């Protein structure tokens, strides 16, 4: 299911986008899938909500810049930490909460 979610998110990408990369297992799968698209010629610039995600992306050939290079992002892809009975997604259960909020705030 996580891989399917990551692959669905890839359908929203286009050349030249500025992306936020989330943290956690689903985000890592997205980064792996994104790297394949980058190898095929997709050009994106990214910032990450964790050093772990940034290191993974860089190791796979995805361009990752520090947060200060961005004031706005086209899209941020991250997983939910929890889903309540009303299907509301909850973020903030992990250790990257502040940085996730900063990256998410780069949207208009």
32: containing domain = 2-104
Q: What is the pTM for the complete model shown? A: 0.81
Residues 105, 108: Cα–Cα separation, whole Å: 8
Q: Report CA-CA distances (Å) from 5 to 26, 29, 33, 51.
A: 8, 9, 11, 22
**Count, residues in the chain:** 108
Is 100 marked active-site? yes
Number of domains in the chain: 1
| Alpha carbons 87 and 21: distance in angstroms, whole number | 23
In angstroms, the CA 28 to CA 34 distance is 10
Dihedral angle, C-alpha 7, 12, 17, 21, nearest 10 °:
-40
Q: CATH no. for residue 11?
A: 3.40.50.1360
Rounded CA gap, 98 and 79, in Å? Answer: 15
Q: Name the catalytic one among 63, 68, 100, 108.
A: 100
Question: How far is Cα 29 from Cα 63, in angstroms, rounded to an integer?
Answer: 16
Tens-digit pLDDT profile for the chain (108 aa)? 889 999 999 999 999 999 999 988 889 999 999 999 999 999 999 999 889 999 999 999 999 999 889 889 999 998 777 778 887 776 665 556 666 776 777 665
């Amino acid at each position: 299911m996580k891989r399917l979610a990551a692959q669905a998110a890839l359908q929203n990408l286009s050349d030249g986008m500025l992306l936020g990369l989330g943290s956690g297992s689903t985000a890592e799968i997205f980064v792996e899938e994104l790297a394949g698209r980058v190898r095929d010629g997709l050009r994106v610039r990214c910032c990450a909500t964790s050093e772990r995600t940034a290191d993974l992306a860089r190791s796979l050939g995805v361009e990752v810049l520090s947060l200060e290079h961005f004031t706005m992002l086209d899209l941020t892809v991250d997983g939910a930490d929890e889903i309540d009975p009303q299907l509301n997604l909850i973020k903030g259960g992990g250790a990257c909460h502040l940085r996730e909020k900063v990256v998410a705030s780069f949207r208009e």
